[in-house]
Amino acid sequence: MTNHPIRCREISAADIDVVAEFLTRGFAGRPRLYWMQGLRRQASREIPEGYPRFGYMLDHGGLPVGVLLLLYTSRNNGAETAISCNLSSWYVDPAFRNYAPLLTKIAQRHKEVTYVNISPAAWTRPIIETQGFNAYCSGLLFSLPVLSGVKPGVTIETVSPDTHSIQGLPAADVELLTRHARYGCLSLVCRVATGERLPFILQPVRIRRDGSRRRRCS
């Protein structure tokens, strides 16, 4: 280890390549292409003004030794704009683990933001609970629509990547559906007999012969 100082700073567009390399080393089973695809998407998506586009990194001599990606989004409910942020892909090099709390402290300093962690590894749950996170739900839900009868008056519409509006849905929901359709996900709107519109986003998963899963979108 050299005597370069450790500093926590925002990840910039110029850091994408080295951050992808770092996360590839930190997360076994995730290829570099996976990280580059996600970071490039984050580079182009709309985020609330004044918040980090990618997240933060621990900088040691110009190279990352710790990374925490942040996915910010805003939603206008008519009365006010709510800001939320998903903490994702937190990894710190073992030699610098004592600096790990610095990442989360800086990342969660905005009191007006609702922070979530939708995909924590099982072994990290005790750690993030000490940071103030509470479990929202647990367990798995399995649905077998093929075994259900067809309900009268119910229709399902597939949302294409170039859809601009959907009757009965707020513009924010339409944008979310179309953005995920562009990512390769299956975006649907279920119209029930009462006139209510229910949006769904499904992630296609391929089941390999060895039983492992392969995600097609992130």
Measured CA angle at 145 (ends 142, 148), to 5 deg = 120
pLDDT tens, position by position, 155-197: 889 999 999 999 889 888 898 899 999 988 999 999 888 888 9
pLDDT band at 218 (very low <50, low <70, confident <90, very high): very low
pLDDT of residue 117: 85
150 and 79 inside one domain: no
pLDDT at residue 130 is higher than 90: no
pLDDT tens, position by position, 70-92: 999 988 766 788 899 999 898 99
Lowest average pLDDT, out of 51-55, 57-61, 152-156, 206-210, goes to 206-210
Domain-located, residue 140? no
CB of 187 within 8 A of CB of 200?
Answer: yes
110 and 152 inside one domain: no
Distance CA 91, CA 24 (A): 10
Please state, as a whole number, how many other Cβ atoms lie within 10 Å of the Cβ of residue 176: 18
Domain-located, residue 103? yes
Q: Is 150 exposed, middle or buried (0-12, 13-18, 19+ CB in 10 A)?
A: exposed
74 and 122 inside one domain: yes
Rounded to whole angstroms, what are the CA distances from 137 to 69, 73, 105, 117, 186? 23, 21, 24, 12, 23
Domain-located, residue 198? yes
Position with higher pLDDT, 203 vs 10: 10
Domain-located, residue 137? no
Question: Among 123, 52, 119, 50, which residue's Cα sits nearest to residue 87?
Answer: 119
DSSP 14: G
CB of 27 within 8 A of CB of 91?
Answer: yes
Domain-located, residue 209? yes
pLDDT of residue 209: 65
97 and 200 inside one domain: no
Domain-located, residue 39? yes
Domains contained in the chain, number: 2
Final residue belonging to a domain, choices 64, 96, 130:
130
Which structural domain, as residue segments, surrounds residue 59? Answer: 6-130
Position with higher pLDDT, 212 vs 135: 135
pLDDT at residue 216 is higher than 50: no
pLDDT of residue 119: 76
Question: Among 13, 17, 50, 22, which residue's Cα sits nearest to residue 36?
Answer: 17
125 and 180 inside one domain: no
Domain-located, residue 100? yes
126 and 159 inside one domain: no
